[in-house]
Amino acid sequence: MNDEAGRSTCCAGGASHQKTLAEKGVLLLLTGDGKGKSSSAFGMIARALGHGMRVGVVQFIKSRTDAGEVVFFSSLPNVEWKVMGDGFTWVTQNRAQDTKTAQAAWNVAKNMLQDASFDLVVLDELINTIQYGYLDANSVIRDLQSRPDMQHVVITGRGAPPALIELADTVTEMGPIKHAYENGIRAQRGIEW
């Protein structure tokens, strides 16, 4: 709980203390091999829109414009949604093109990160572009650090590098326990896309 001044008035275990909490944009990192990273980010979009916030989304790697979230959210007035990928790298098999595409997507993302009118920016599958060497991690980190003070950013993707984990305010690692695909069930409309 917080009082009017933003001080924490209670904490886990029932202990009470007066700690002033900072108000600033947070960087959230959703990583790991489990399903649900992007879905979690899209849930935060709904939450932000419920508060009248403006949202920008850049999807790296992914190329589907018929996915349910794209169709729904991109039709709303407070959302700018950019599907910028050529498809998963194991499909494209063209490193030069994938690098060029990732860099073009980063230019769009960088513009959003410099625009204080975006309250929330979601960079879906950004981690993968860093992992594959399509984007330079240090440049990405510099751009994230120089964003407007109150801008929130959510980044998704498998295998987050340590430097990005260090930079993030909140990191969640999603781990797989069981997936329908393992039992021969293909991706389902409304669930995976």
Q: Residues 179-188: pLDDT tens digits?
A: 887 888 888 8
Quick check: is 7 in a domain?
no
pLDDT tens per residue across span 54-89: 999 999 988 888 889 999 999 999 999 999 988 765
Q: Which of residues 42 and 18 earns the better pLDDT score?
A: 42
Mean model confidence pLDDT for the chain: 89
pTM of the model: 0.85
Count other Cβ atoms within 10 Å, centred on residue 142.
Answer: 10
Whether 165 and 159 have beta carbons less than 8 Å apart is answered as: no
Query: Could you give phi then psi for residue 51, rounded to 5 degrees?
Result: -100, 10
CATH code where residue 115 lies = 3.40.50.300
For residue 154, what is the enclosing H or E element?
strand 152-156
175 is a domain residue: yes
How far CA 45 is from CA of 115, 124, 173, in Å, comes to: 17, 12, 19
Going by the DSSP 8-state scheme, the letter that residue 187 receives in this structure is P
Number of domains, the chain: 1
Q: What is the pLDDT of residue 2?
A: 54
* In a domain? residue 13: no
Q: Is residue 8 part of a domain?
A: no
Which residue range is the domain that position 154 belongs to? Answer: 24-183
In a domain, 177, yes or no: yes
Residues with Cβ < 8 Å from 64, sequence gap 6 or more?
Answer: 70, 83, 193
**Rounded-to-integer distance, Cα 75 and Cα 143, Å:** 28
Residue 110 covered by a domain: yes
Q: Tell me which residue of 118, 127, 129 sits closest to 153, measured CA to CA.
A: 118
Asked if pLDDT for residue 16 goes beyond 90, the answer is: no
Q: Is residue 171 part of a domain?
A: yes
